[in-house]
Amino acid sequence: MAEIVFGGMPAWLLEAYLVELGGTPDGDAAVAGDGWRATLEARARDGIAIARVAVHIEGARADVVMAALRKKAQRGGG
């Protein structure tokens, strides 16, 4: 299983990225693809209103999908 926490990025956008990576929405806050399944969990930090979303990916292709998700979620300044 692989896990990463994204800050400042909404769950709906991460879910859209997972769909772009070949997944299909699979219930509430979950996306499943060939050889993997991801769940998204919104987390709040004490007293801070910044969105934090933990993404858990399990399955034989978890590491591959996690690496691709990290790349999609990178943002350049400008």
Task: Show the domains of the chain with their CATH numbers.
Answer: 2-73 (3.30.1370.80)
Residue-level pLDDT at 17: 96
Residues of the chain with pLDDT under 70: 44-50, 76-78
Q: Which residues contact 43 (CB under 8 A, 6 or more apart)?
A: 5, 52, 53, 54
For residues 38 and 78, give the distance between their C-alpha atoms in angstroms, rounded to a whole number.
31
Q: Which of 46, 68, 65, 49 is nearest to 57 (CA)?
A: 65
φ, ψ for residue 53 (rounded to 5)? -130, 125
Q: What is the pTM of this model?
A: 0.86
Residue-level pLDDT at 28: 85
